């Protein structure tokens, strides 16, 4: 049984920073790619960033240079460091584990005030 728990969301002013955490239960965590996605009110869920099992990362253009995804395999955790936050980054952020049909977390709310 794979369980995913996101944390670290909150309210921050424009220009501020937050670090989201995604803890994934289950074996072989290091073998799977993990992604962050987000969904703003009234909008479709969009992909934000992915980190492969190799450590290779990729980002949507709108967050490049501001967000950094990383992983700590010893802690079964993936992080999303978000700097220079903008009001348009406001959304529920979800963690997704690839493989085995895929697994979603419940999400954590990020609100950026202007």
Residues present in the chain in total: 114
For the stretch 48-101, pLDDT in tens is 999 999 999 999 999 999 999 999 999 999 999 999 999 999 999 999 999 888
- Res. 110: pLDDT tops 90: yes
**Terminal CA-CA length for the chain:** 40
For the stretch 4-14, pLDDT in tens is 999 999 999 99
**Contact predicate 96/79, CB 8 Å:** no
Whole-number pLDDT of residue 27 = 80
Whole-number pLDDT of residue 1 = 84
Using CA atoms, how far residue 13 sits from 17, 68, 105, in Å, is: 8, 19, 25
């Amino acid at each position: 049984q794979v369980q995913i728990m996101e944390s670290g969301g909150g309210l921050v002013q424009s220009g501020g920073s937050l670090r989201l955490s995604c803890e994934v239960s289950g074996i072989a965590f290091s073998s799977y790619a993990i992604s962050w996605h987000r969904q703003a009110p009234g909008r479709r869920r969009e992909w934000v960033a992915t980190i492969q099992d190799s450590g290779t990362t990729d980002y949507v253009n709108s967050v490049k240079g501001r967000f950094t995804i990383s992983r700590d395999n010893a802690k079964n955790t993936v992080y999303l460091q978000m700097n220079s936050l903008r009001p348009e980054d406001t959304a529920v952020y979800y963690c997704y584990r690839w493989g085995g049909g895929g697994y979603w977390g419940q999400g954590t709310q990020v609100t950026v005030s202007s």
